[in-house]
Amino acid sequence: MEGIEHKTVTVNGIKMHVAEIGQGPVVLFLHGFPECWFSWRHQLAFMASNGYRAVAPDLRGYSDTTGAPVNDFTKFTTLHVVGDVVALLNAVAAHEEKVFVVGHDWGAMIAWALCLYRPDRVKALVNLSVAFTPRNPTRKPVESLRAVYGDDYYVCRFQEPGEIEGEFAQIGTKRVLKNFLTYRNPCPLYLPKGKGFGDSADTPIILPSWLSEEEIDYYASKYEKRGFTGALNYYRALDINWELTAPWTGDQIKVPVKFIVGDLDLTYNAPGAKDFIHKGGFKKYVPLLKEVVVMEGVAHFIHQEKPDEINKHILDFFQEFPCLQ
């Protein structure tokens, strides 16, 4: 993409690929699954054109970021990844005490963790799709998900190293990515063993207007090169995160936040999610929550599906916080 600079930065023992553009206050974009820096393609140039320096890394285990031990999922906790992010900020934003952050999906979870562990580094946060989830001190997350959804729930299917990767290999990388990126069902995602996404391999997947074959090809080129294991390790480390974050039980997110979600997003339609978001639970744990935006007719990949609206939401929110350069 025109104007975007790509570089590799050594941080926290890994070599992190970073895409960046623009001059001004740093806006750090954290991607989710199954994506990479490229998922922010619509936001990067927009923020740069409005006087910001947009920085989008490939997170640990993803795409062109290398050096993480992908065969050891215990090295993919939020503490590891936030360690990467803080080291990246020290490298690319050394003169800024705090930066703006935007996260989506797993990137949103890492952004919440960054705000929990190092609120001193975040000026304000726009998070998409995944609301903050307070730690339940009595039950591990995978156990909780299995109890609610069963063994075929996608997070549960991701737990056994190598198993789902083998099934994805049979389906084909490009088709797997198409299935994930075009998913618009607000109901839970199930991946029964041996049945994949429940569709025939001969059935064409029609791409929406916001996603082209060329864009799918870019994602596929990265996952064919790197595989899915690094990305799946985030799910496999969920219970380890739970063990390590006991000291933060009951803690709050103490940075200004704007939260945006689509009404068709499976995260928004999870049991109890709407009540938590709208009836005081979210605000209790995120006391500086300034606004919750629910976009109608929009699914999980909200920043790609509705880039113009998301860009405006991000810019309008960050412009509330003057920056001294």
Q: Which residue in 45, 49, 304 sits closest to 181, CA to CA? A: 304
Contact 50, 85 (CB under 8 A): no
Is residue 104 annotated as part of the catalytic site, yes or no? no
Name the amino acid, one letter, at 52.
Answer: Y
From the list 104, 300, 303, 313, the catalytic residue is 300
Cα gap 311→315, rounded to integer Å? 6
**One-character DSSP codes across 272-287:** THHHHHHSSHHHHH-T
From the list 58, 64, 84, 105, the catalytic residue is 105
Is residue 300 annotated as part of the catalytic site, yes or no? yes
**ω into residue 208 within 30 of 0, thus cis?**
no
From the list 52, 234, 235, 285, the catalytic residue is 235
Is residue 235 annotated as part of the catalytic site, yes or no? yes
The DSSP bridge pattern shows strands 99-104 and 122-128 to be parallel
Question: What is the SS3 assignment for 188-210?
Answer: CCECCCCCCCCCCCCCCCCCCCC
Cα gap 172→307, rounded to integer Å? 28
Task: Measure Cα distances from 46 to 78, 154, 164, 201, 223 in Å.
Answer: 29, 34, 37, 38, 26
Catalytically active residues are 105, 235, 300
